[in-house]
Amino acid sequence: MFGLSWGELMVVGIVALIVIGPKDLPGLFRTMGEYTGKARRMAREFSRAMEAAADDAGVNDISTTIKAAANPAKFGTDAIRDSVKSTFEDGSETSKLSEKRKADKAKINDAMAKAATERQAREAAEAAKAAKAAKAKAARAAKAKATRAAKAAAAKATPEADA
């Protein structure tokens, strides 16, 4: 009680007996007891009101959840493991979705491979067409150059014959 030892309480009692007197001391103790009782009742009532407010707010549910989470045995990790295990067993909804996703993935991969093959074939055809056009252009340029050279040679040959 307030960190007082028995010896200190004895000294306080003797001083109270001397100061207050033996005649008024029982009345003082009675009054102190009443005030102490009132204080305890008020503290108990306040505590109950706070607990009721916490119950209304759901604090107790949260605290029990946190306590359960701190204790794996109460948290039910085994139940979680079992539910996860049953989720991935054959015939479960998750298993069916997994199979469907695998099939969809295979379809997408096939479509992408087909599109890539078509694109490569198209690019190869365009490259061949461009090479053919470049070859034809080079042939025309060579023909034009040969024609110019022939005209130049003919022009050179014609003035010599006149001289």
Q: What is the pTM of this model?
A: 0.33
Q: What is the pLDDT of residue 149?
A: 87
Tell me the C-alpha distance between 82 and 79, whole Å.
Answer: 5
User: pLDDT tens digits for 89-112?
Assistant: 666 677 777 888 889 999 999 999
Does the pLDDT at position 123 exceed 90? yes
Per-residue pLDDT tens over the stretch 124-156: 999 999 999 999 999 999 999 889 988 888 888
The residues, any chain, with a CB within 8 Å of residue 94's CB and separated by 6 or more, are: 87, 88
- Crossing angle for the helix pair 59-70 and 25-57, nearest 10 degrees? 80
- Cα distance between residue 26 and residue 36, in whole Å: 15
In terms of residues, how long is the chain?
163
Q: Where exactly are the structural domains of the chain?
A: 1-75
